[in-house]
Structure 1
Amino acid sequence: MPKVKTSKEEVLKKVIPILRTRGVQNSSMSELSKACGIQKSHFYYYFSNKEELIKEVLATVHSYFNYNFFKITDNSVLNISQKLEQLKLLLDKLFKASDGGCIMANTALETIHLDPIYKKEIQLFFHDFITGLQKLLETHYSKEDSLMLAEQMVQDIEGGILLTQIYDDSKYLNNAISRMEKIVLNK
């Protein structure tokens, strides 16, 4: 294998789709380094072990999601309908345009009962997802109702992602997003 200079960010960018589709248990460090086109030793330069790599992947995905999600929800220039349109585009990009669904949910389902090492990062991701939706809902609902509805929407979206993967049919995620829109708009 030729020696290739690559950054940690480039490695993470190449590893995330593989982990999203193959999962943590079915992805070896050798396989991941090969997919990145780098020597395994170079891979270990960035990540001392697989657990560190997975934590970095989850933190990177979480950071990317938060940046894009809160850029929409916290935008004071956009009205609620415009925010929803932007959120739909973001959810489509994250969960329909890429194979494998939600890497956070996949990793949780695969690892949480065996070794809760990634649990905190996954919890933070879903907490932020819920919090962002709750902010949108507080224009029409009480704080308590907003929290309950935001939790319900995240559950519905994650279920829609799962069923989209199982049936290879995006109608499940589309329906969840449509239900989210009706709740946020209080229709």
Structure 2
Amino acid sequence: MTAKTRRSSKRELILERARSIFTEYGYEKTTLDDIGSECGLNKASLYYYFRNKEEIYVQVLLTEADKYISDLQEKVQDYHTTEEKIFQYLLNRIRRYAEALNVSQLSFSSVQKVEPMFQDLFQKIKNEEIDFLQQLLSEGIRTGDIEEVDAHELAESLFVISDALKHERMIQEKPYHSGVYNYTKVEDQLSMMIRLIFKGLNLN
């Protein structure tokens, strides 16, 4: 095993153990000492693999994001119309997001702290999701399920609006009282939004 392979393997182990710790204690209460202890490393040794706790956490999120995006993209194929596919994708995306926040016990203030430091990485995920929505719309146009529209512009708008609903709910929910986010209202708002957009654009 080469040094590069050993380092990569160790990084994967750290991320795996860190995910469990973040899930149990939450982002804010987890320390590098906690993570290092689970991996058989001291705090100083962790810096060889990651710059800080924030980088470890974001890498854990990215790994999870890749898994859930792949899973969501596969699930929408069970639906037939473009509207159904897009609604189900955005709906399950919000549900997974709520689950992730509840499991990690991440507060809205923590999200605000982490996001600015890793804008490039979050932008990468955003672009992948918008590209997928665009593919769904383009396929709908090609098959005659929906009329001709600017698929990229509509995909971006759908993503931005659904994200706005999600973040607005985070602010209003104030989970620090109960430790749990409830996104039922967001799901209802999303359903109404999708119906209105598709009807307004005469896509049915």
Shorter-chain TM range is 0.5 to 0.7
SS of the equivalent of 1:94 reads helix
Per residue, is there more helix in 1 or in 2?
2
* Deviation digits for residues 31-80 of structure 1 (CA, Å, limit 9, x no counterpart): 5x28x85666288299433254245224313312331132134x3x6412
Between Structure 1 and Structure 2, how many residues are aligned?
169
Q: Is the 8 A contact 1:68 1:90 kept in 2?
A: no
Q: Distance in 2 between matches of 1:17 and 1:142?
A: 45
**Structure-1-length-normalised TM-score:** 0.63
Match of 1:158 among 149, 158, 163: 163
Q: Distance in 2 between matches of 1:52 and 1:133?
A: 28
Highest Rg: 1 or 2?
A: 2
Would you say 1:13 and 2:19 are equivalent positions?
A: yes
* Deviation digits for residues 90-141 of structure 1 (CA, Å, limit 9, x no counterpart): 224312334369x8x988843565x5xx232211100011111112222125
Aligned to 2:172: 167
Q: Distance in 2 between matches of 1:174 and 1:45?
A: 44
Q: Distance in 1 between matches of 2:133 and 2:51?
A: 35
- Equivalences for 1:89-108 in 2 at 5 Å? 90-99=92-101
Aligned to 1:179: 193
Aligned to 2:128: 128
Change (3 A) 1:88 1:127: closer
Unaligned runs of 5+ in 2: 1-11, 141-145, 174-181
Change (3 A) 1:45 1:39: farther
Change (3 A) 1:125 1:88: closer
**Structure-2-length-normalised TM-score:** 0.59
Unaligned runs of 5+ in 1: 1-5
Q: Is the 8 A contact 1:58 1:121 kept in 2?
A: no
Aligned to 2:5: none
Identity of aligned residues (%): 14
